[in-house]
Structure 1
Amino acid sequence: MQQPRTPHVVVVMGVSGTGKTTIGPLLATRLGVPYAEADDFHSPANIHKMTAGTPLTDEDRRPWLDAIGEWAHGRAGLGGVVSCSALKRSYRDRLRATAPGVVFLHLTGDRALIEDRMGHRRGHFMPTALLDSQFATLQPLEADEAGVAVNVSGTPDEVTAHAVAALGDIDGPATPPSK
């Protein structure tokens, strides 16, 4: 008989506009674990910078990443889902240092789709003007990182179903984006 696996903490990552805040809660519901929104971990100064159209620096992100990592560490063995852009390998390494065992769900999509989605959302502090800096910063998951990539071109329910299926074999290497 196969042993049940310990629930992972899943970090839903990707550039702004990929649907982290939409897919994250849906995924958490499907997995039966709590969800945390990364934007809630930002300092007021970070939110002010982004609202003004100024990209965050690595120094700006450190306390934010540490707070997300602490939340994930507290969910170790229990499972959870947290959104976090985690655009650079070094950011993901920092999260793993605080919360060993986290896995990543990289939401991917082409720039035109993401820009269109960002243009239609309301009440979010991240302006479309920062999308180029997000794509320039993005370092996709590498083969030695625990995680999967899922394309966001479908409906939220379809993307979530693809994510659940892809995460089902999370102990393997990262996979290329699904079509």
Structure 2
Amino acid sequence: MSPSPLRLIVMGVSGCGKSTLAAALSERLGLDMVDGDDLHLPESVAKMRSGIALQDADRWPWLDRIGHFLAQAPVPGRVVACSALKRVYRERIREQAGEVCFVFLDGNFDLIEQRMRQRVGHYMQPGLLDSQFRTLEKPEADETDVICLPITEAVHVMITQALEALHRRLHPAL
């Protein structure tokens, strides 16, 4: 029996560090990586650039593209940086992709807003962070495929924590 590819999503609100952690995990695990932002339709990007929050109707095709990208993962797997803010969004991805592991980057509004104001050239406006937090449904305990990490840790610590949690999940007997 051949090994299954790892399908990994690094999730959380805009500005929490999804892209940074996803890229680091991609490199450490030898996985293909895509930033979910790159899979948005041009109309959705234009809305966000204009400071207009996306609605569910804008998100469904995007979530389907993310799920399809993960479903087509070769061994060893793929990682996507994707907000996946609502439980129904995560379920939509699971329906498309099959078995997925989510890494939720959890942080408070003030810290994330500060980080967003420091970044340059991103189309997601800091003014939209409010809508992200209103939309966010933090993963519940019954979402057993989610690893929660606090963003107050240094990136190298978060990488280590994520790798250890993934190892425990993939090799529970060890």
When normalised by structure 1's length, the TM-score is 0.89
State whether residues 30 and 76 of structure 2, in contact with CA within 8 Å, keep that contact through their aligned partners in structure 1: no
Q: State the match for 1:176 in structure 2.
A: none
What are structure 1's unaligned runs of at least 5 residues?
173-179
Q: State the match for 2:155 in structure 1.
A: 156
Q: 2:105 aligns with which of 104, 107, 112?
A: 107
Q: State the match for 1:177 in structure 2.
A: none
Q: 1:138 aligns with which of 136, 139, 145?
A: 136
What are structure 2's unaligned runs of at least 5 residues?
none
**Matched position secondary structure for 1:139:** coil
Runs of 4 or more, structure 1, over 6 Å off, are none
**1:1-150 residue pairs with structure 2 within 5 A?**
6-75=4-73, 78-145=76-143, 146-150=145-149
Aligned residues: 170
**Matched position secondary structure for 1:170:** helix
Q: State the match for 2:168 in structure 1.
A: 169
1-structure distance, mates of 2:18, 2:113: 14
How far apart are 1:157 and its partner, in Å?
A: 1.6
State whether residues 102 and 147 of structure 2, in contact with CA within 8 Å, keep that contact through their aligned partners in structure 1: yes
Paired amino acid for 1:38: G
**Matched position secondary structure for 1:169:** helix
Over the residues paired in the alignment, what is the CA RMSD in angstroms?
Answer: 1.9
Aligned-residue sequence identity (percent) comes to 43
When normalised by structure 2's length, the TM-score is 0.91
